[in-house]
Amino acid sequence: MSQQMHVDKLKEIRDTVEKTELSIPLEELCERYERLYTGAVNDVLREMCLPDQGLPSTIMPLRDDMVVCGEAFTVKAVKDPTMGGEMEVRVEMLDDLRPGHIVVWNANGDDHASHWGGVMTQASNPTYVQNFL
């Protein structure tokens, strides 16, 4: 029984989503960020004691001039998406995606499976996705 209690606590922590109201509209915030040098953003976040807020250096844009800013939808994948309610989270995320939103997917090192493909692209906002690419 105690093992189940630990799993429930982990699931609760994993499924908790903190929402923060921004002091300015998201669109204006993104316009500001997109004009900044990435290193400056990193330096400010570090000074605010918010380390590890950037993506790994191995994640590169498709083109050198590409920048992106938006409200992040973070997903932490599990090997079996039917466990831990991940499928429900995916459906909710796809329903909520709007222009200006960005999906950040932690695949936990699983690079043998596709975590986002054509079906999820079509279920999201395909006009926005096409304009981005």
pTM: 0.59
Who contacts 37 (Cβ-Cβ below 8 Å, separation ≥6)? none
Q: Which domains does the chain have, with CATH numbers?
A: 2-132 (3.50.30.40)
Who contacts 75 (Cβ-Cβ below 8 Å, separation ≥6)? 86, 89, 90, 93, 103, 104, 105, 106, 115
Burial bucket for residue 29 (CB in 10 Å: 0-12, 13-18, 19+): middle
Largest Cα separation within the chain, whole Å, is: 54
- Quick one: average pLDDT of 59-79? 81
| 20 confidence band (pLDDT: 50, 70, 90) | confident
pLDDT computed for residue 101 by the predictor? 82
